[in-house]
Amino acid sequence: MLARNRFILLLLVAAVLAVLSLSLQFLHLIPTTPVRDEKSPGKSRKRVNPVPHTEPPEPDPIYEAYAYCNIPNRTEQGWEGHCPADYKLLSVHVMIRHGDRYPLYAIPKTRRPAIDCMLVPDRKPTHPQLAAFITHMSRGRWDTALASLPRVPNHSVCEMGELTQTGVVQHLRNGHLLRNTYIKRHKLLPPDWSGQQLLVESTGKSRTLQSGLALLYGLLPDFDWAKLSVRHQWSTLFCDSSCDCPARNQYLEEEQKRQYQLRVADTQLDRTYAAMARTVGVPPRQLRAANPVDSLLCHLCHSLSFPCTPQGCLSTRQFAVIRRQQLEDEHDRRRRGLYHRYALLAAHPFLNRTAARMLRAAEGRRYGLFALSSAHDVTVAPLLSALGLAGARFPRFAARVVFELWRSPPPPRGVKDKDGDGDGDRDRDRRRLFVRVLYDGEDVTFQTTFCRDHDRHSQPLCPFSNFLSFVRKDMFSILNATSYHEACHRRPV
């Protein structure tokens, strides 16, 4: 009898608790869905709309550093060569930054990164064309100002600034990607291409020459050395005979002052350098002069431990502070605008030469169908700024900027060009020309200054006339000038 009464009492208590629980859920006093830290018992099929952020999250210095490394460990796709049907590709102009390199500076009193710069196809990272590339580089003979430079990295212990195997693989991949688009799909270069149709230029550093050759081999495997001529660019700005520009140098000096003032005002950066200097046993001024972030980036990109001394090791946290300051510097640089003025004058000679080559290709001269310029970060960064690509990341290793020239199909027979009344054939032909700009495979054409306001509904491509007008006069308006010569010799305000 006692057991029966206890059973009835338990049933009554359970019933009361059940009613109370349902009441609390109805009044939203307890949660009915799992909290964030718990796992849901099954996959929810309900669509959850994310809450939009009013401001983008702060950039992660370590994530940005890995993006800068551009480690070739994944398949990369690009939007190069994409255009409406029946449009014809006329020419392509590519500027690249060299691939991964050994540091330019050494951190005092620490061991240099142990990296082998000999090319070994069986060592990662590698590429299916690497062995053939090594063989082909050993066969060529050419008469050029760059002939004294080695065509492949060749030191078992890397020299300062030397291209690594990673850097070669990065550009073999770039070349292979561009080959699939421009050679196989669009037939830009004929099988019997000539040296007039393929233009290659490089600075006098082995890392840029070797990067250009690696991309070229990916683009045209086993190319004919007799047809190849690599032009030596004496200036990292690729300015040819237009390098004399006093105003550009003044803008650069002002920009460097801005950088210095921003660094000096950063107390966290100052404390970090002081701590790092104590670890390696040198004055902070000496450590700053050694630009330690360059060496630390190499360690990070090659998965090497940071340098250590008897006093301790340099840390990822310290590296993140320096990278954080660099990212803040990029933001302040865009806001102040001094660098942009410098960049307009620094990039104009290259842009002007590119526009002229495009015009020749459009006239059917078959000259410079594919142009490759192998350069440095100090070449690519001003180019991006001059184009108005304010949101573009700082050029990573093996970065590429691509300019494509396209021609639309002619209007159907009997249909008049409504914008061409009274114009000659030359003007009508130019209205059929369009340009695309891509950065690391992303189409950034409509982020550029000259096509940001273009009506994409009426014409999905950017008119070449916009680009031509920008290069010839519009880009100088911010400098209160109408030409490159006037802008270069006008005293900066």
Known catalytic residue at 93: no
Contact 295, 362 (CB under 8 A): no
Token pair for residue 190? 């004929």
- Residues 207 and 159: their CA atoms lie apart, in Å, by 11
- Residues 355 and 471: their CA atoms lie apart, in Å, by 8
Instruction: Give me the residue label for tokens 């102009």.
Output: 93
Instruction: Give me the residue label for tokens 């169908």.
Output: 369
Q: Which of 266, 329, 332, 377 is catalytic?
A: 377
Token pair for residue 469? 């007008």
Length of the chain: 493
Q: Which of 98, 136, 171, 340 is catalytic?
A: 98
- Residues 136 and 12: their CA atoms lie apart, in Å, by 88
Q: Which residues contact 124 (CB under 8 A, 6 or more apart)?
A: none
Token pair for residue 192? 């019997």
Q: Which residues contact 57 (CB under 8 A, 6 or more apart)?
A: none
Token pair for residue 170? 């990065």
Contact 417, 431 (CB under 8 A): yes
Neighbour count for residue 19 (Cβ, 10 Å) = 10
Token pair for residue 67? 């993006």
Q: Which residues of 172-189 are buried (b: 16+ CB within 10 A; e: fewer)?
A: bbbbbbbbbbbbeebebb
Known catalytic residue at 377: yes
Question: Burial level of 171, CB count in 10 A (0-12/13-18/19+)?
Answer: buried
Token pair for residue 128? 């299916």
Strands 312-313 and 308-309, bridge-based pairing: antiparallel
Instruction: Give phi and psi for 143, each to the nearest 5.
Output: -110, 100
Q: Give catalytic residue positions.
A: 98, 377
